[in-house]
Amino acid sequence: MDRARQAEPTMPVAAVARRLGVAPATLRTWDRRYGLGPSRHTGGKHRRYGATDISRLELMQRALLRGASTAEAARFALDAAITDGPAETRPARADPDRSVARRLRGAAFALDAAATQRLLAAAIADAGAGAAWETVIEPVLTAFGAGWHGTHAGAEAEYLLTESVLAALIRATPLLEQPRNSRPVLLSTVPDERSALPLYALAACLAERGISAQVFGTAPPAEVLAVAVRRSAPAAVVLRAQRSTMADGGLFPRVSRGRQRSRVFAWGPGWGGAALPDKVELLPDLREAAERIEYVLLGR
């Protein structure tokens, strides 16, 4: 510990409790259960709170005021401390993607829309849409989706994150003045499927490769989708199914009729156990899916 840090002012538990407006017993409980206690030692047995310790507690208190449970608020405060704290509190070899993901989760959890959007924009600009989706965005979305265990606690943060991701992916998908493909790629979820964000991520990946796409984020009924394919004559059609209960292989013959035949792809975990027609190809993960579409359409 350097001398400058040793010289920082510290506070006993009673003073910190008064500052935060909680009982000293509450601070001791947070220390015992979640590790949010004082990290500084005096000459005796008593520990004292430093500036970093108090900042973590203030972050936790803000999360509690926004409706988080005590455990969720403690996780948020600890994650924020790892990514934003002084150098000596950070892991020596932090995973950059994990660090960005923690910051993104923390910003969304705190309902900080501006910070959430800045982090998303920076992640996509630094790594590209595909890598940002697979290493940062999708893991955070999955954690939010699985984290509330059927309750509504924290659901507002998931809504904010979802809308922010959608906006970031649309901004990362420029309108191509001279796309490499003469006819667009049509991307759609299957009817009644609600998970459309991966399609916008795929559209952004294709745009990075100079390939234009049309996204139906709101899944049209089967008959409307079939008409759209016949009228637009896309170079390829990608149908996304997240849930197996929504995956219907009977959709593919309906969208492949007409004079101008399109290459048809199935994409998403929902198709894993479905019977697909012979000419329908199952696409792999996001970046590999973009590579395969590029190869099929352009040969490279």
273 has pLDDT over 80: no
Q: What is the pLDDT of residues 196-228, one digit of tens each?
A: 999 999 999 999 999 999 999 888 898 898 898
- 84-98, 148-162, 238-252: lowest mean pLDDT where? 84-98
Q: Where are the alpha helices (DSSP H) in the chain?
A: 3-6, 13-20, 24-34, 51-65, 70-84, 96-109, 113-127, 129-132, 138-147, 155-171, 197-208, 222-232, 251-255, 286-298
Question: What six digits make up the tokens of 29?
Answer: 């409980």
- Average of per-residue pLDDT values in the chain: 81
Please name every residue paired with 14 in a beta bridge, in sequence order, or none if there are none: none
232 exposure class (CB count in 10 Å sphere: 0-12, 13-18, 19+): middle
7 — pLDDT class (breaks 50, 70, 90): low
Which of 173 and 153 is assigned the larger pLDDT? 173
Which of 74 and 62 is assigned the larger pLDDT? 74
pLDDT of residue 95: 53
CA atoms within 13 Å, Cβ hemisphere of 95: 6
Q: Dihedral through CA 269, CA 202, CA 216, CA 220, nearest 10?
A: -10
Query: What mean pLDDT is predicted for residues 235-243?
Result: 91
151 — pLDDT class (breaks 50, 70, 90): very low
Which of 290 and 252 is assigned the larger pLDDT? 290
pLDDT of residue 300: 64
Query: What mean pLDDT is predicted for residues 66-94?
Result: 58
Which of 75 and 230 is assigned the larger pLDDT? 230
8 Å CB contact between 211 and 185: yes
Compute the distance between CA of residue 59 and CA of residue 64 in angstroms, rounded to an integer. 9
6 has pLDDT over 60: no
Contacts of 204 (CB under 8 A, 6+ apart): 124, 129, 130, 169, 172, 173
Q: What is the pLDDT of residues 81-96, one digit of tens each?
A: 544 444 334 333 345 6
12 — pLDDT class (breaks 50, 70, 90): confident
Question: What six digits make up the tokens of 122?
Answer: 């920076």
Residue with tokens 């499927």, as numbered in its chain: 193
Tell me the three state secondary structure of residue 194: coil
pLDDT of residue 2: 47
247 — pLDDT class (breaks 50, 70, 90): confident
Residue with tokens 């459309």, as numbered in its chain: 196
pTM more than 0.85: no
Query: What mean pLDDT is predicted for residues 59-85?
Result: 68
